[in-house]
């Protein structure tokens, strides 16, 4: 019987050995100044050995004014390249043709550590209790250059792919969304204007790394906020990204304003946030971004990576068979079981992962590095 999830597929000119992608998450395992540590290398070595086809690193800041969490990985200086090269070398050595991407990130207004971070506009919400400053044109141009230089460093460090983080209410998502972008210049207003910073970053990055180096993008299909991006506009945005030259699009949803918190034994933790919903305990609740992805898939000509509450192998196989997506993004399941792809590929164990979608791993980031609290 044909197992689509085990088949290889290209992203640009890079062949991914199977359809499993480790979707990005913050880890807080880098040094205080963003350098690769032995613990971070071991974390990714275990993931690579687990059988996933493509690893996307956690959020990696391109400029110090875009750092969002403590001990976040950095790619904003050339002297970081050797450490990043050590990371990619280990993944390539132990991952049996595993590929690795770095997620290029800028927090914008959603920083937990900066007092007055740059943002498209001064939109004040109590998400992180900070008041951002509105970016000047020079700030925008400097940010474009920071992303492009980070792309160049990524290639020099041995990454196979890069991904721009334009989802979940971080800086590029803030530019895309009319909820957070109130600018009256060429970077605000129309959909075309709100895309402009990403188009500038893409073109300048291609100048740095060449047109054959795959650049991916992660975007919101719905902000879930009044005045934010909805599906009709996200389809237009995705189509423009596809035409622009992005090698693949990862679809996600939500911004950090949409956080509801619930008291449980293990403390406060997000019920519904950009990364995850809780209590995915039936197949009907799985793949909660799928209905959006089906529509996005109709208007793009590049591979689509689907992330969000995917827990069962038969659900995965149906998604791939129906061509609703080309790759399956997994995050929390791989925190619980880093070897889950190997289990599924070899027919070992259950077809549903052990992750119970409690979001304890997300809560663990508030006090330290990410981990599955159910394993403790």
Catalytic positions: 170
C-alpha count within 13 angstroms, C-beta hemisphere, residue 305 = 31
Residue 111 has which token pair?
Answer: 């920083």
Q: Residue 367: which region, alpha, beta or left (left: phi > 0; alpha: psi -120 to 50)?
A: alpha
Residue 159 has which token pair?
Answer: 């990454």
Residue 278 has which token pair?
Answer: 């809780």
3-state helix/strand/coil string of 235-258: HHHHHHHHHHCCCEEEEECCCCCC
For residue 329, what are the β-bridge partners? Answer: 21, 307
Sheet strands (E) in the chain: 9-11, 14-16, 20-22, 54-61, 73-74, 99-105, 118-119, 133-134, 161-166, 215-220, 248-252, 261-264, 267-270, 304-307, 327-330
SS3 131: coil
**Alpha-carbon gap, residue 222 to 23, rounded angstroms:** 18
For residue 218, what are the β-bridge partners? Answer: 165, 250
Report how far Cα 215 is from the mean position of its chain's Cα atoms: 13
Is 2 within 8 Å of 17 (Cβ atoms)?
A: no
Nearest residue to 18 via CA among 104, 87, 95 = 95
Is 277 within 8 Å of 357 (Cβ atoms)?
A: yes
SS3 358: coil
Nearest residue to 335 via CA among 15, 10, 28 = 28
Is 163 within 8 Å of 56 (Cβ atoms)?
A: yes
Angle in degrees, CA 375, 311, 334, rounded to 5: 45
C-alpha count within 13 angstroms, C-beta hemisphere, residue 145 = 7
Rg (CA), the chain: 19
């Amino acid at each position: 019987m044909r197992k689509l999830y085990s088949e290889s597929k290209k992203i640009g000119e890079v062949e991914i050995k199977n359809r499993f992608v480790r979707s990005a998450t913050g880890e807080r395992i880098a040094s205080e100044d963003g350098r690769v540590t032995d613990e971070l290398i071991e974390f990714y070595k275990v993931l690579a050995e687990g059988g996933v086809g493509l690893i996307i690193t956690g959020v990696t800041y391109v400029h110090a004014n875009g750092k969002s969490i403590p001990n976040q990985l950095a790619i904003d200086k050339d002297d970081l390249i050797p450490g990043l090269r050590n990371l990619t070398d280990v993944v390539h050595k132990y991952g049996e043709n595993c590929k690795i991407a770095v997620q290029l990130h800028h927090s914008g207004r959603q920083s937990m550590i900066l007092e007055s971070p740059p943002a498209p506009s001064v939109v004040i919400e109590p998400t992180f209790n900070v008041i951002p400053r509105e970016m000047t044109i020079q700030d925008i141009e400097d940010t474009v250059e920071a992303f492009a230089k980070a792309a160049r460093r990524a290639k020099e460090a041995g990454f196979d792919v890069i991904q721009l983080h334009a989802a979940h209410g971080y800086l590029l998502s803030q530019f895309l969304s009319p909820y957070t972008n109130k600018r009256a210049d060429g970077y605000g207003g129309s959909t075309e204007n709100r895309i402009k910073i990403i188009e500038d970053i893409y073109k300048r990055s291609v100048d740095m790394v060449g047109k054959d180096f795959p650049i991916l993008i992660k975007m919101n299909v719905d902000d879930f906020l009044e005045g934010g991006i909805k599906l009709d506009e996200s389809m237009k945005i995705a189509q423009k990204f596809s035409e622009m030259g992005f090698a693949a699009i990862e679809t996600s949803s939500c911004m950090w304003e949409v956080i509801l918190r619930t008291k449980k034994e293990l403390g406060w933790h997000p019920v519904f946030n950009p990364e995850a919903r809780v209590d995915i305990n039936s197949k009907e609740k799985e793949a909660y971004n799928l209905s959006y992805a089906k529509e996005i898939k109709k208007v793009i000509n590049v591979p689509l990576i689907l992330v969000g509450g995917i827990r069962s192998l038969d659900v995965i196989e149906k998604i791939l068979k129906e061509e609703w997506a080309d790759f399956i993004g997994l995050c929390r399941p791989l925190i619980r079981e880093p070897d889950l792809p190997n289990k599924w590929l070899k027919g070992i164990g259950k077809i549903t992962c052990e992750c119970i979608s409690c979001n304890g791993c997300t809560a663990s980031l508030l006090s330290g590095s990410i981990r599955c609290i159910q394993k403790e």
